[in-house]
Amino acid sequence: MTTTEPEADGRVLRGRRNREAIVDALLQLYGNGHLRPTAAVVAEAAGLSTRSVYHHFDDMKSLILEVSARSEERWKAVTEPPSRDLPIDARLEAFAKHRATRWSIAADVIRAGLVAEQSSKTVARIMQDGRRSDRAQVADLFDDAISTAGRPEWVLAALDVAFDFATWNHLHRWSGVDDETVEEIVVALAGAAFA
């Protein structure tokens, strides 16, 4: 007996929905502060069996990579870095807003990555690559101002710290100030690098 085309299409659609449900469940778990859930916990949150998780993903690492890619797609769809042609003050403000938008969308996934990198070489490599990429973006965006500074490496390091997730996360979670004030503080920190 052969499978009819509508039945096959239904299975494909159900498979896609289940895969999306698994990714959504892991994102929700991260959002609830559960940063190292097992496949069984993810499956329960998705309303599926643990076997379904491993049917759609080879292992938890591949699921984490999928969640990371989804998070990146989400923030890239709503924000992009400012033009290098803006005056330095406007560029600092625009970049602070860009990074704040990015960090607010990706925060839960980044926090989970910070935990997972302690035990996973794959996640540690991805996190390190991300840090290098972020620093390179800062270097490129502010190259004109950095290159004319008295201590270019010092200025780059200061900008890198000002715009880093750890700085935003600390201010956002522990300082007790609103989002707008966080951005103002980041701009002040970054601007001080040129003083």
Q: pLDDT digits over 102-128, tens only?
A: 999 999 999 999 999 999 898 899 999
For residue 172, is it within any domain? yes
Instruction: Check if the beta carbon of residue 86 is closer than 8 Å to that of residue 93.
Output: no
Are 16 and 103 contained in the same domain? no
String of b and e for 141-179 (b: at least 16 CB within 10 Å)? Answer: bbeebbeeeeeeeebbebbbebbbbebbbebbeeeeeee
Q: How many domains does the chain have?
A: 2
Are 95 and 152 contained in the same domain? yes
Place of tokens 């956002």: 172
Angle at 97 between CA 91 and CA 98, to 5 degrees: 85
Are 88 and 183 contained in the same domain? yes
83 DSSP assignment: P
* Residue 15 confidence class, pLDDT cut points 50, 70, 90: confident
Q: Which of 82, 86, 33, 41 is nearest to 63 (CA)?
A: 41
* Residue range(s) defining the domain that contains residue 14: 1-57
For residue 69, is it within any domain? no
| Percent of the chain with pLDDT strictly greater than 90 | 80
pTM across the whole model: 0.87
Are 21 and 109 contained in the same domain? no
Are 133 and 160 contained in the same domain? yes
Are 43 and 80 contained in the same domain? no
Mark out the alpha helices in the chain (DSSP H runs): 5-31, 39-46, 50-56, 60-78, 88-116, 121-141, 143-147, 152-162, 165-174, 179-192
For residue 170, is it within any domain? yes
Upper half-sphere CA count for residue 37 (Cβ side, 13 Å) = 25
For residue 68, is it within any domain? no
For residue 29, is it within any domain? yes
Are 21 and 88 contained in the same domain? no
Residues in the chain: 195
Q: What is the mean pLDDT of the chain?
A: 92
For residue 70, is it within any domain? no
Are 112 and 175 contained in the same domain? yes
Are 53 and 109 contained in the same domain? no
Are 52 and 83 contained in the same domain? no
Are 83 and 178 contained in the same domain? yes
Radius of gyration of the chain (CA): 21
Are 97 and 168 contained in the same domain? yes
For residue 65, is it within any domain? no
For residue 131, is it within any domain? yes
Supply the pLDDT for residue 1: 47
